[in-house]
Structure 1
Amino acid sequence: MTNAPEKIQDAYGKLPNGWRLEKLKFFADVRNSNVDKTISDDEQPVQLCNYTDVYYNDRITPDLEFMNGSATEGEIVKFQLKRDQVIITKDSEGWDDIGIPALVAQDMPDVLCGYHLSVLEPGVELDGAFLAWLCRSDPLNDQFKLGANGVTRYGLGQYPLKNSYVALPPLETQRRIAQFLDEKTARIDNLIEKKRVLLERLAEKRQALITRSVTKGLNSDAPMKPSGIDWLGDIPAHWEVKRLRFLLDGGTINGAYKPKDQFSPEGVPFVQMGEAFRGVTFDGGTKDRVLASDAEIDKYGLKAGDFLIARRSLVFEGSGKSVRINSLPEAYLFESSMIRIRPFCADQISGFLSYYFQSAVCRAFFLSITKQVTISGIDSRQLKDVWVPIPPTNEASNIWNACVSADRAHDTVSTSIMKSIRQLEEYRSALITAAVTGQLEVA
């Protein structure tokens, strides 16, 4: 047995009789791929198994849609996919995404392991399916993570990969463990998937309730009339329809740009995009503070009932996203990727508007006018031209309260389901580690 460091032995725990703790390089051939995505005329056409193919699949099978590429004869011999190989992610922007494995289900001579991946090809004493499960266990996967170097991007080199320690039972035991985990985790994954589908259905139900409430009202028997807006459809006969510009006090204000030399712990809180859109309301809490004059605070300040609207976003679906400002403990400024709007009589209409901006019809309209470039976005003119159905003040307040109540019920159920999913994921992880380290007896 290799004399493994004490911390490695502690991570694996006391292994059963007949098990060994050895370096991976003695039982598997380890190769980091250098096959890039460039197609060259002087190379042979191939298909490439890329990072996302491994990241999103436990097994690599011929029915996956592989990318077209090209490679030299030497690369084809070295990196063609073979049954029982394990492909792992070796590079990532996130530390947690290092060492994610996928098992190659069968020989695929025309498919090559692509860049940012490593091939682990088991020898005669190591079962590929067992190795794939071992790569998912804490004792081995933690070694991969700790072996990766980088700051903004992490990379796992061959040396730490080859010299990682693996727990090896007899070959027949490896196969029994792999089969056991295939069966057990499939049941857990099926249950997790059902719970995730339930979460999606709940979200759809919430969205439908919000959309119906802010466009049709709470009284299903109320007479209706055409709104005159195709995408809005019919609204209650006693409602009005106005452009957003006529509901705003002071129009639209783009956020402040602040250079780095004005960031100071002595300044006022400065709301960034990620901080603003943590939820559908913002109650405070920022990482940065900036120096600001009274005039800037007056122009870019936030108060209860205001809205911040994403005017540009790296993600298309984020364009036009809104957040309602609640009471804040001090003056806050907001950054230039957002637009502030301040409704007239905010205490009466702001709650209704919050849910209208979240509704399916309004979100669909925002996305329909979004400019799809490198950074997607909408501008102030487009925002001010959005049509808004306006109920009487007391009805708007009732709709807001009904939506808040429904949201609380939705959040209670969703939180319970998400907690259950986390517990199942934790159990799955613990089961894998226990099985591949011999702490769990497998029949």
Structure 2
Amino acid sequence: MNIAAQLEHDEMNFGNGEWFGLIPVDWDRRKLKYVVKILKRVAGFEGPSVLSITQRGIKIKDTESGEGQLAQDYSGYQLVDRGDFAMNHMDLLTGYVDISQFDGVVSPDYRVFRNFSADVSDEYLLLIFQIGYTQKIFFRYGQGVSLLGRWRLPADNFNEFAIPIPPMDQQRKIVTFLKCKVETIDEAVRIKQEQIKLLRERRKILIQQVVTRGLNPNAPMKDSGIDWIGQIPAHWEVVPILAVGEVIDPNPSHRNPEYVDDGFPFISTQEFRPGAAVELNTPRRVSRKTVEEQEERCRFTDGSLVFSRKGTIGAVRVLPAGIRLGILDSLCVINPNRRIDPTYMFWTLSSDYLSAQYGPTLRGAALPQLSVGRVRSLKIILPPKAEQLSLIEHLVFQTSTIDRAISIKEDQITALKEYKTTLINAAVTGKIKVIQGGS
């Protein structure tokens, strides 16, 4: 059976200023209070399964392993039966909705409801609810403080929310059509994501090869004396970072930075962008006093690097030249000396061989970290200064080629997801007519 869609229905009406606009003349428009019933059945016990609503659907929590954040008291939890709808109506930014495949209990903060309309299919209704989240349709009917991520859909607004309802046979066609199309799109996205993963792995291998072996496959080699490095070109050295640069803690006294509304950029790993870029349009700004104190201590120069020693260990960037900024104390500053080019230092600090040294030295269970002293003692492989320039040129060219390929695939994924969103919206609001024909 072939399933297809034509451009539009013959006649449209029922605009009424609703989110879905015009709908076909043979479709109905109905508020949710006439379609679903909100349930509030307090379990009073943990129940057969503790459920959570994720953007991949309703899942059973692994309570034995302590997955996620478990409640101390389940007395207020709600019962959910297989086939019930459940939604995280307290978070319209990152929440979701699904039909439960399990019997269980969910947080009292969730909304559980059931479809009681004989002329509305669960599958079609779920499509409506899910685009309510993915396209931020519910957001305009919500309340709260969006800047703090607290944006909810009150019960009254939920009940008054209107949806388009096509005839049942058309609902079935829409569900079947979209299931086929969405599966095809999702598979295309999955393939491109896997290709990006392989390209990134190829990029890592390339960097590792260049900064540990160089470009001459016939160069004489020697044992580095370190297991996790192995052999290196005979004329290269293995030295601690301290031998090629000054490593500085920007905030040894742990003074809090002075935040201001209109000040200087404040950099953490959140501002690290793909490649070597640093985002300067930062949400956090700091005062001139904070910047001047760090400048005096860190002595920033053209080619100063920042290296993350807390949380995301080993992320590294070259700071943009001529820009005054402050940095979080999870970063340390590295000012290279004349033995190493700053750009080459960026590449070698980005390699996997460096991360092999972190494991035994990390401190802190909640937030793994390296001490500044340990960063200074990390070993790097150092080619002669003149050779570093040719290695940089090779790495920039090769990684740029890979980065362009990744960017193209990321753009393709974005286009596929946008097409998927547009297609679902058009089908469930009657902007395209789903038809079934052929054999």
- The reply on whether 1:334 has 2:330 as its aligned counterpart is no
| Residue 19 (str. 1) matches residue 23 (str. 2) | no
Query: CA shift at 1:239, angstroms?
Result: 0.8
Distance 1:198 1:362, change over 3 A: same
- Quote the Cα distance in structure 2 between the aligned partners of 1:186 and 1:32: 34
The structure-2 alpha-carbon separation of the partners of 1:17 and 1:233, relative to structure 1 and needing over 3 Å to count, comes to same
Q: Deviations over 1:148-179 (max 9, x none)?
A: 33221233322222221111112232222112
Counterpart-to-counterpart distance in 1, 2:308 and 2:20: 48
Cα 1:24–1:436 change in 2 (3 A) is same
Q: What pairs up with 1:157-236 in 2 under 5 angstroms?
A: 157-236=154-233
Question: Cα distance, 1:255 vs. partner?
Answer: 3.9
What's the counterpart of residue 90 of structure 1?
89
> Distance in 2 between the 1:425 and 1:227 partners?
48
Go from structure 1 to structure 2 and tell me whether the alpha carbon gap of 1:284 and 1:427 turns closer, same or farther (over 3 Å shift): closer
Change in 2 beyond 3 A, CA 1:162/1:295: closer
Alignment of 1:325 onto 2:331: no
CA distance in 2 between counterparts of 1:212 and 1:433 reads 48
Partner residue of 1:252 out of 244, 248, 253: 248
Q: Provide the residue aligned with 1:297 in structure 2.
A: 295
CA distance 1:373–1:148, shift in 2 (3 Å): farther
Distance 1:303 1:30, change over 3 A: farther
1:321-345 deviation digits (Å, cap 9, x = unpaired): 21112422x4434332221011102
Pair 1:163–1:142, CA change in 2 (3 A): farther
**CA positional deviation for 1:82:** 2.2
Aligned position for 2:8: none
Instruction: Determine if contact 2:131/2:137 at 8 Å carries over to the other structure.
Output: no
Could you tell me how far apart the structure 2 residues matched to 1:142 and 1:240 are?
A: 56
> By how many angstroms is 1:279 displaced?
4.0
Q: How does 1:366-405 map to 2 (within 5 A)?
A: 366=358, 368-405=360-397
Indicate yes or no: 2:129 matched with 1:135: yes
Structure 1 residue 285 corresponds to structure 2 residue 280:
yes
2:308 is matched with: 310
Mapped to 1, the partners of 2:41 and 2:341 lie a distance apart of 59
CA distance change for structure 1 residues 160 and 364 in 2, over 3 Å: closer, same or farther? farther
Task: Find the counterpart in structure 1 of residue 79 from structure 2.
Answer: 79
1:125 is matched with which residue? Answer: 119
Hey, which of these two has a bigger chunk of helix by percent? 1
State the one-letter code of the partner of 2:124.
Answer: F
Task: Tell me, yes or no, if the aligned pair for 2:265 and 2:280 is still in contact at 8 Å.
Answer: no
> Residue 368 and residue 200 in structure 1: after superposition, are their counterparts in 2 closer, same or farther (change >3 A)?
farther
* Matched residue SS, 2:195: helix
| Distance change in 2, residues 1:368/1:353 (3 Å) | farther
Distance 1:252 1:140 in 2: 45
Is residue 103 of structure 1 aligned with residue 99 of structure 2? Answer: yes
- Which residue of the partner structure matches residue 39 of structure 1? none
From the superposition, tell whether residues 178 and 424 of structure 1 become closer, same or farther in structure 2 (CA, over 3 Å): same
Residues of 2 paired with 1:412 and 1:320: CA distance? 24
SS at match of 1:378: coil
Alignment of 1:343-358 (within 5 A): 343-345=336-338, 348-358=340-350
Query: What is the match of residue 43 of structure 1?
Result: 45
Change in Cα spacing, 1:280 to 1:33, as seen in structure 2 (3 Å) is farther
Output the CA distance in 2 between the equivalents of 1:97 and 1:410.
Answer: 32
Return the structure number with greater relative CO, CA threshold 8 A, min gap 6: 2
Deviation at 1:374, TM superposition (A): 2.5
Q: Does 1:144 align with 2:138?
A: yes
Contiguous gaps of at least 5 residues in structure 2: 1-13, 65-70
Tell me the CA shift for residue 274 of structure 1. 4.4
3-state DSSP of counterpart to 1:13: coil
The separation in 1 between residues aligned to 2:362 and 2:354, in whole angstroms, is 12
Q: Give 3-state SS (helix, strand or coil) of 2:358's partner.
A: helix
Report the alpha carbon displacement of residue 236 of structure 1 after superposing the two structures with TM.
1.3
* Counterparts in 2 of 1:398 and 1:183: CA distance versus 1, 3 Å: same
SS of 1:50's equivalent in the other structure is strand
- The gaps in structure 1 that reach 5 residues or longer are 36-41
Structure 1 SS opposite 2:24? coil
Asked if the contact 2:265/2:286 (under 8 Å) is kept, the reply is: yes
Number of residue-to-residue matches in the alignment: 408
Q: Residue 312 of structure 1 aligns to a residue in which SS?
A: coil
Change (3 A) 1:196 1:127: same
Over residues 182-239 of structure 1, what are the superposed CA-to-partner deviations in whole Å (9 max), with x where a residue is unaligned? 1110010000100000000000000000011111111222222221122222211211
* Partner residue, 2:4: none
Quote how far apart the aligned CAs of 1:26 are. 0.7
Letter in 1 for 2:288: L
Corresponding position of 2:68:
none
- CA deviation profile, 1:223-260 (whole Å, cap 9, x unmatched): 222211222222112111111111114x4232486657
Tell whether the 8 Å contact from 2:132 to 2:138 is kept in structure 1 after alignment: no
Matched residue type, 1:127: S
**Structure 1 residue 32, shift from structure 2 partner:** 6.5
**Distance verdict in 2 for CA 1:284–1:44, change over 3 Å:** closer
Output one character per residue of 1:129-153: Cα deviation in whole Å (capped at 9) or x when no partner: 1111111336996442223332212
Q: CA deviation at 1:294?
A: 6.0
Whether contact under 8 Å (1:270, 1:286) holds in the other structure is yes
Distance 1:311 1:150, change over 3 A: farther
| RMSD over equivalenced CA pairs, Å | 3.0
Whether the aligned pair in 2 keeps the contact of 1:248 and 1:343 (CA below 8 Å) is yes
Alignment partner of 2:36 out of 16, 28, 38: 28
Instruction: Give identity over the alignment, percent.
Output: 20
